[in-house]
Structures are given as structure tokens and as C-alpha cells.
Amino acid sequence: MMAGLLFARAGCKVQVLEKHADFFRDFRGDTVHPSTLELLRELGLLDEFLKRPHDEVRKLTGRVANEQIVIADMSHLPVQSRFVALMPQWEFLDFLAQEASHYPNFNLKMEAEATDLLLENDRVVGLRLSSGEEIRARLTIAADGRSSVLRDKAHFPRKDLGAPIDVLWFRLPKEKTAANETGGTFGAGAMIVEIDRGDYWQCAYVVPKGAAEAIKAKGIDAFRKEVAHAAPELAPVVGTLKDWDQVKLLSVSLDRLTRWWRPGLLAIGDAAHAMSPVGGVGINLAVQDAVAAANILAGPLAAGRDVDPLLKKVQERRLFPTRVVQAVQKAVHDRVLTPLVVRKIVLDKVPWPLRLFQRLPFLSRIPARLVGLGVRREHIRSPDAGLRR
Ligand SMILES: Cc1cc2nc3c(=O)[nH]c(=O)nc-3n(C[C@H](O)[C@H](O)[C@H](O)COP(=O)(O)OP(=O)(O)OC[C@H]3O[C@@H](n4cnc5c(N)ncnc54)[C@H](O)[C@@H]3O)c2cc1C
């Protein structure tokens, strides 16, 4: 959606395709980080964006062995918005779609599922929808997520980094509080992230990869007890989980393509590199890919030039940040999640690296920088053709 907005702003005729009928679904992730907020500011859209319902989180905290620890403190970042905006992803997508709709050359087509690529002389010239309709394009961008059909159809080679976890995703009621209380509980051989969405918790209960079926087989009552044990503060409300329809399995993967492009086609976002939930950075990395793609391609495309020779530059630009973030995610998978969630090690005291964060609070500025702004941050450089109505 971000790529669609930027290419339309640069004067290209854009068609964004979405297979679902609406955005109102449980997407993975609610975190709009300072890096993305800065991009919205550069586009002059930040004030409008912040009018949408959201919460602002300046410190990311976790409860480890019953102690509250500040893991990332955003309040010193060198940007205007020194916070993570917690906004359900449907709201963010709807915002971008609304902004893009101001461009007469932008069109969003819902219930349009891409099923195949159209090829001519081995060049991608568009795609086919499940309805049989063919859409031709000078450039096709595969932004269809971690289960991308298009990346498979393009035969892009992929490196799987493995992920030891999946996530069970469910809601539990909560009292509204003045401050957003999003946080996580690590310990008791389990991990649960609680996203504060006002009058309910959006809970992400981390389980070993492939374990969901066995957990379900034990029954909902056993699951309620497990959740209450992992996060005792949720014990009074777990009773509202009545059946498995309320619990969704979100499958986690960590991989990347070793080639993101071929003539006529470019993969970005999770389609190019599926991200783990660790750090809540995937949405923001996908947005940065979209900005880089527009910076490199939108001007030449709008001017009618052949952009095939430029496609590799997008991969060259974005591979480094992808590698860095995935290396950190993999380290957290191996050193934190596997011991806690897979081997079920019980934390009875705060591990020493986290103890350091408690003693030297300025250390929490380092993860804040990595998570909040990332590496090789993009800025809006693509042209504005002045077509906005
Ligand atoms: C459990 C979990 C929690 C996460 N939490 C966070 C978080 O808090 N913050 C964060 O930043 N990241 C988080 N992530 C990572 C984040 O979800 C992804 O990195 C991010 O959504 C990638 O964005 P994308 O636009 O590339 O793909 P997606 O968000 O997956 O979007 C792809 C879109 O394409 C559509 N689509 C798919 N196939 C087709 C098709 N064939 N035709 C037409 N449309 C199609 C889909 O319906 C979807 O709308 C989490 C990941 C997991 C697994």
C-alpha cells in the first residue's frame, strides 16, 4: 500500500491488488515505529495519521522473573515522534489507502487474488487473478507477504533461517487505563506479549513451532490454566476464552530471497524476507522497502524509462538492513525463545544482560535506536508529480 501511494504520487498509474474484501482482520502486528512516523512526516501526512485511534508507547518494557524491566527507551531518539504508535494494522492500511485515493492515477482493487505471473519472452508483464482476469503492467511488485504466491511463481531462490516458534493470538478483556500498558511476560517457561488495545488485551502467546495442535488436543481448560500460569495477571479474565474459535494460530517464519527481482518483477516486504515478530519491526522494514523501491524506480518509471536494469539496486539497498535485523531476530530465537519456550527453562532471576539495563538505564537507548529507527533508514526521495486532488 505504501509503494502504491508513492508510485502514484510520482505520477505512475498504479493498481494495488488485495485478495481479501476488507482490511478488518487480525493482521500480525500493530507497531508503527518512529522510522515510519518520520516517513509520514516527510510526506506531510503525520498529523492526519495521528488523528486515527492509537496509543503512544515511549518505553518498551518486559516483566522478567517478576521484575519490570525497560528494554527500549525511545524518548531520546533524534526524530520528532519519539514513540511507537500502537495502531491496529487495518487502521494503518485504511489510512494509506485513503491517502492514495487522492491520486486519480491510483486504484485499489479488493477481492483480487493474484494466482500467476504473465510472461513474455521470459519477462514478467503482469499477472493473472483467480477470476481469470489478466492485468498487464510495466512493473509488478510482489508485496504479498510471507506466503507469497508470486515469489514462488517467479522461482526466486530462498534461504530459510528457521523459526522455533509460532504464536497463538487471542483477546482478553481489560479495564481501560490512562496509560497504554502494552508489555510482555517472560518466565515460568513461557512467554506472552500483551498488546493494550483499550478495553481488551490482544495476547500473543508464544509456543514451540508445530505445537499448536498438541495444545489444542489438551482442551481449552488446560490452555486457560497455561495462560494464567504464564501471566498470572491474566488469571481473572482467562475464563472468557470459551472455545478454540477465539484463538488463532499465526505461523512464524524467518527467511529471505537470495534474488528479489527478475525483469518486470520486484519482491519487497515479507515476500522478499519474512520477518519474525521479534522487535515488532517487520511492518516498518516492509515500509522502508517500499520507500527504497519508489526512490529508485518511481521517477524513471513515470518518465517512461525501462526500469529493469534498476531492479537489482533495490535489493542491493535493502539487503543489508534485512540481514542485520534477521541476524538479531535469529539470535533472539536461539538464545532467548528456544530456551524459554521450547526447552521451558524457568527464569527465577533476571539474567545479567537485562540486569545491566536496570542498573544503567541509558543502555536501553541502544535497542531503542535499533528497533525504533533501524539501520540504513530511508527518506522520501521519490518525486511528487503534483497530481493529488
Ligand atoms: C505473530 C507475528 C507477529 C508480528 N508482529 C509484528 C509487529 O508487532 N510489528 C511489526 O512491525 N511486525 C510484526 N510482524 C511481522 C509483520 O507482520 C510482517 O513483517 C509485515 O506484515 C510484512 O508486511 P507485508 O506488507 O510485506 O506483508 P503482509 O502484511 O503479509 O501483507 C500482504 C498482503 O498481501 C495480501 N495477499 C497475499 N497473497 C495475495 C495474493 N495472492 N493476491 C492478492 N493479495 C494477496 C494479503 O492479504 C495481505 O494483505 C509479526 C509477524 C508475526 C508472524
Could you tell me which residue, 339 or 299, shows the higher pLDDT? 299
Model pLDDT for residues 2-22, shown as the tens digit of each residue: 999 999 999 999 999 999 998
Tell me, what's the pLDDT at 39? 98
Separation of CA 254 and ligand 1 centre (Å): 13
How far, in Å, is the centroid of ligand 1 from the Cα of 371? 18
Q: Ligand 1, residues 22, 270, 322: which to mutate, most atoms within 8 A of Cβ?
A: 270
145-149, 192-196, 220-224: least confident range = 192-196
| Number of the ligand 1 atom closest to the C-alpha atom of 112 | 43
Give the cell for residue 261.
Answer: 527481482
Q: Which three cell numbers stand for residue 163?
A: 523459526
pLDDT band at 48 (very low <50, low <70, confident <90, very high): very high
Mean local confidence (pLDDT), 85-102: 94
Which ligand 1 atom is at minimum distance from the Cα of 250? 1
Write down the pLDDT at residue 361: 80
Q: Which atom of ligand 1 is nearest to the CA of 282?
A: 19
Q: What does the pLDDT look like over 341-376, one tens digit per residue?
A: 888 877 777 777 778 877 888 888 888 998 899 999
- Is residue 24 over pLDDT 90? no
- Whether pLDDT at 27 is above 70: no
Ligand 1 centroid to Cα of residue 357, in Å, is 31
Confidence check: pLDDT of 63 > 80: no
Ligand 1 pocket (Cβ < 6 Å) reads 17-20, 28-31, 113-114, 143-146, 149, 167, 250, 252, 269-271, 275, 277, 280-284, 286
Pocket test for ligand 1, best of 90, 111, 147, 275 (most atoms within 8 A of CB): 275
Which range among 83-87, 312-316, 363-367 has the greatest average pLDDT?
Answer: 312-316
Distance 52 CA to ligand 1 centre (A): 21
Average pLDDT rounded to a whole number, residues 49-72: 86
Write down the pLDDT at residue 188.
Answer: 65
What's the confidence (pLDDT) of residue 28? 65
Length of the chain, please? 389
Give the pLDDT score at 96. 97
Distance from the alpha carbon of residue 286 to the mean position of ligand 1, in angstroms: 9
Measuring CA to CA, how many Å separate 326 from each of 166, 176, 251, 267?
17, 35, 17, 17
Nearest protein Cα to ligand 1, atom 27:
145
Q: Is the pLDDT of residue 230 over 90?
A: no
Percent above pLDDT 90 for the chain: 72
Max mean pLDDT among 28-37, 179-188, 301-310 falls in 301-310
Which pLDDT does position 133 carry in this prediction? Answer: 98
pLDDT tens, residue by residue, 261-285 = 999 999 999 999 999 988 889 999 9
- The label of the residue with cell 485478495 reads 19
Is the model's pLDDT at 26 over the cut of 70?
no
pLDDT for position 57: 87
User: What is the value of pTM for the model shown?
Assistant: 0.93
User: Mean pLDDT for the chain?
Assistant: 93
pLDDT at residue 352, as a whole number: 78
Tell me which residue of 254, 311, 310, 305 sits closest to 277, measured CA to CA.
254
